[in-house]
Structure 1
Amino acid sequence: MSLRQAAERVLLGNWIGHSTVPSRSLYPHQWSWDSAFIAIGLRHLSPRRAQVELESLLGSQWSDGRIPHISFSPAVARDAYFPGPDFWQATTVGGVETSGIIQPPVHALAAWLTHQADEAESVRRNFLPRVYPKLVAWHTYLRTRRDLGGHGLVAIVHPWESGMDNSPAWDDALARVTPAPLDSFTRQDTNHANPTDRPTDLDYARYVQLAATYRDHQYDDATTPFEFALEDPAFNALLITSEHALADIAEYLGLDPAHHLKAAEELTHALGQLFSEDLFHARDLHTDLVPARTISGLIPLIVPGLPQAADLLATARSDHFKLGQVHLVPSYDLTGPAFERKRYWRGPSWFNTAWLVHRGLQAVGAHPDADHLKDDLLALAGRTGFAEYVDPYDGSPRGAQTFSWTAALALDLLESQNAPTQL
């Protein structure tokens, strides 16, 4: 079986009729930024299905514009995943049960790429005119409700919102949080993955407490006393990239793209506040820049015209990340004090962040680096059975298997120059 066929099999196997689960076992619902990455790959298999993936996710959008990080499937047992719908207590006007927090805004980029995959099908289904106002509302929520520091940048209020759940960048901020009692919840993730790969029970107890506090304040960004509030470089870089995508969508629809380009310019300028020496760092709104060097600090390579691109490229090649010398791009500084080669986001290499860095390397003209990273990603995807993430040193699979965004992004790198095959 070819790598393309194997990737297609994963995506077809994880499709549940209107969306794609990240993993049948570990993540049995629809996740926000997963669906965006999945659509980017699905567009090569079925542009229509990629459109439905994004439309399904946008169907769980809240009235304030936020796109929640989980849209719960009513066909799945309520206790199959924790925290589940009974914990979050959040239901949209349309009756969809969701979580109350968010994830990085890859969605406009995914929508634009999906449209480009089959323009005729996109026009036939009126795809862009339907999703554009929802994406604008999403970005408006982020820029107005989540500029908690007044710096012109979006803040995350839970580690899960970064998508990089237990990154060492969050350690000091999490240490301020009084954990929920361990006997007050039952984890499900460790039933489907090696506990040594997953966040510790203490970290999880703090995640639960942060989410419960937000929930108990009705997910109100103005009144919740956020103990955890940080400006994350990757989150903001993805918002910039998606603002550029919204500008492209607006122009295609005959609308003025100027306000999207202005937003991207303002965000790019503000992002410079997070740069120190040779890397972007998260900023803790209770303290200052976080010293931890993480993959999040390299993701701004995707930002068009980024002034610090040459510095980021040098850092990626340095001993901190060893681009081209280890597998993919480590999620945390290889020389850092908190490095763990197997534990979730504390050192392992992930396929989605590698795809983003690859896109950034191409944008800055580092084509040999980009080609090597692409080849490594494709080889690992096939060799590991589309693992969730890998050990950066030996490439061994970690986390869930047959993981949807791994298959989708491998398919994208394989097929981005080819016409899509219709189902």
Structure 2
Amino acid sequence: MNTHIDQAKRILAVNDRGGYTVPTDRLYPFQWNWDSAFVAMGFALYDIDRAYRELERLVEGQWVDGMIPHIVFHAPSETYFPGPNVWRTEQTIPTSGITQPPVFAIALRKLHEAAGKGAEERILPLYEAALKWHRWWYSARDPDGTGLVALLHPWESGSDNSPAWDIALARVPTDTDTPVVRKDTGHVDADMRPRDEDYRRFIHLVDTYAACGWEPARQWEKASFKVAEVQTSAILLKAGEDLEHLALLFGRTEDAIEIAAFNNRTRKAIMAQWRPELARFVSRDLISGEDVEAATQAGFIPLLSLDLDKQVADALVFEMKAWSKDLKVAFPTTKPGIASWEPKRYWRGPAWAIINWLLIDGLNRNGHADVAEELRRSTIAAIETEGFAEYFDPVTGEGCGGLGFSWTAAAYLWLERGALPA
């Protein structure tokens, strides 16, 4: 018996707070949006009821307009900043005011497939919630109908302090009405976390949107940070494919037609962000109109939801191999050796099991099963050597950030099975 599987399940049990899972104790004491979607897929392998419960608890925080926020504050905690009093969202259940990558519908399809027949009664409310959120993305974050959805805060990407935001974030003022009382650096070495100056900018944006009453059109107008992002758009497209599949399964023909139109628009828009000279996809800064050329993992995530021409897929894979050369753990979230590369600092270099999971799915989809298998083995070896860390230093292999991490445990459970779904 694989003792690491037992450990992974034990971590999910330890981080259970009554139907929802915290990412790790103390550092992240609430329910996080995309964390929970990955965790639900982990649970689906051995406890389908608990998998559904994870998503049901997340949906408790859904806003009337359809947004599923990035944090749901089910129970108070003093170990995290910014808490509900900073967000000021005035929801029935306190939540943050921004969102996170829409992995939810991807998880929903996996749950439905794991549950088998007769699960419709439980899945339909979740399907409705996913569809509402999907529509929110296109109305609130792509009001001009470009097909690419925009982020109004770096935290919405899930890659909070990625070099991808350096130029756009530098335009955001550092002044804030909210005292910045960091809690994260009390739990984790400050050298692994975002810098104080960035934190003030993050909170400046929160203050700005709270002053807009969190109304999407006013936020869009006032935003000093606005990036049409390829990683989020690619995840949204995969979620859209899975939603369309479920809609057809449930006989929701009109929904399926609506979702297919969104998917087509986004598919074309992401393809237009391919830059052969960089051998990756790029995001677009909507305030400057410039490409975001920062070399990060986001440029490879479109593998997940596009059926690429062989030439494009091969170019992406060739570039991925160049980034991974001589590293102990792939895949780095920033290109090694460039000025912004910091192998231990949060999203500025480290390898993350969930990013690898998305890339593995994308590599398999695009005919690179051998590279996918290499990345799978690298990820499993890192976890089995260092434990279920939040992320890994790609150079030394050291586990960094929070320990006993839920989504790393969930990723391990999937990756260890060997046969990842396409």
- TM-score above 0.5: yes
* CA–CA distance in structure 1, aligned partners of residues 353 and 212 of structure 2: 35
CA-atom RMSD, angstroms?
A: 1.8
Aligned to 1:143: 138
Q: Deviations over 1:327-377 (max 9, x none)?
A: 121001113221111111111111110110011111112111111111111
- Is 1:299 aligned with 2:301? yes
Shift of 1:295: 0.3
* CA–CA distance in structure 2, aligned partners of residues 377 and 283 of structure 1: 30
Aligned to 1:46: 47
Matches within 5 A, 1:56-205: 56-74=57-75, 76-77=76-77, 79-92=78-91, 95-120=92-117, 122-123=119-120, 126-148=121-143, 150-180=145-175, 184-205=179-200
* CA distance 1:134–1:200, change in 2 (3 Å): same
Secondary structure of 1:184's partner? Answer: coil
Aligned to 2:377: 375
Secondary structure of 1:310's partner? Answer: helix
* CA–CA distance in structure 2, aligned partners of residues 60 and 279 of structure 1: 35
Secondary structure of 1:331's partner? Answer: coil
Q: Deviations over 1:120-153 (max 9, x none)?
A: 4624xx1221111111110100011111565221
* CA–CA distance in structure 1, aligned partners of residues 85 and 295 of structure 2: 36
Q: Which residue among 252, 256, 265 is the counterpart of 1:255?
A: 252
Work out whether residues 324 and 372 of structure 1, in 8 Å CA contact, stay in contact via their aligned partners in 2: no
Paired AA for residue 291 in structure 2: L
Q: Deviations over 1:373-415 (max 9, x none)?
A: 1111112112222000011111101100010000001101223
Aligned to 2:314: 310
* CA distance 1:33–1:325, change in 2 (3 Å): same
Q: Which residue among 210, 215, 237 is the counterpart of 1:215?
A: 210
Shift of 1:286: 1.3
Aligned to 1:55: 56
Work out the number of aligned pairs and report it.
410
Aligned to 1:391: 393
Secondary structure of 1:283's partner? Answer: strand
Shift of 1:325: 4.7
Q: Deviations over 1:272-320 (max 9, x none)?
A: 23221211112100121012111011111111413443332222122xx
Work out whether residues 234 and 300 of structure 1, in 8 Å CA contact, stay in contact via their aligned partners in 2: yes
Secondary structure of 1:140's partner? Answer: helix
Aligned to 2:266: 267
Work out whether residues 176 and 203 of structure 2, in 8 Å CA contact, stay in contact via their aligned partners in 1: no
Gaps of 5+ in 2: none
Shift of 1:2: 1.1
Work out whether residues 268 and 306 of structure 1, in 8 Å CA contact, stay in contact via their aligned partners in 2: no
Secondary structure of 1:113's partner? Answer: helix
Q: Which residue among 318, 340, 348 is the counterpart of 1:346?
A: 348
Q: Deviations over 1:52-83 (max 9, x none)?
A: 10111011100111000000022x33x32110
* CA–CA distance in structure 1, aligned partners of residues 245 and 147 of structure 2: 22
**Is the deviation greater in 409-418 or in 232-241?**
409-418
* CA–CA distance in structure 1, aligned partners of residues 293 and 306 of structure 2: 25
* CA–CA distance in structure 2, aligned partners of residues 416 and 58 of structure 1: 30
Work out whether residues 26 and 80 of structure 2, in 8 Å CA contact, stay in contact via their aligned partners in 1: no
Aligned to 1:421: none
Work out whether residues 148 and 155 of structure 1, in 8 Å CA contact, stay in contact via their aligned partners in 2: no
* CA distance 1:148–1:387, change in 2 (3 Å): same
Secondary structure of 1:186's partner? Answer: coil
* CA–CA distance in structure 2, aligned partners of residues 405 and 85 of structure 1: 24
* CA distance 1:53–1:183, change in 2 (3 Å): closer
Shift of 1:254: 1.6
* CA distance 1:183–1:108, change in 2 (3 Å): closer
* CA–CA distance in structure 2, aligned partners of residues 302 and 400 of structure 1: 27
Secondary structure of 2:135's partner? Answer: helix
Paired AA for residue 151 in structure 2: I
TM-score, length-scaled by structure 1: 0.93
Paired AA for residue 99 in structure 1: S
TM-score, length-scaled by structure 2: 0.93
Identity of aligned residues (%): 37
Work out whether residues 180 and 199 of structure 2, in 8 Å CA contact, stay in contact via their aligned partners in 1: no
Gaps of 5+ in 1: 419-423
* CA–CA distance in structure 2, aligned partners of residues 323 and 222 of structure 1: 45
Work out whether residues 147 and 267 of structure 2, in 8 Å CA contact, stay in contact via their aligned partners in 1: no
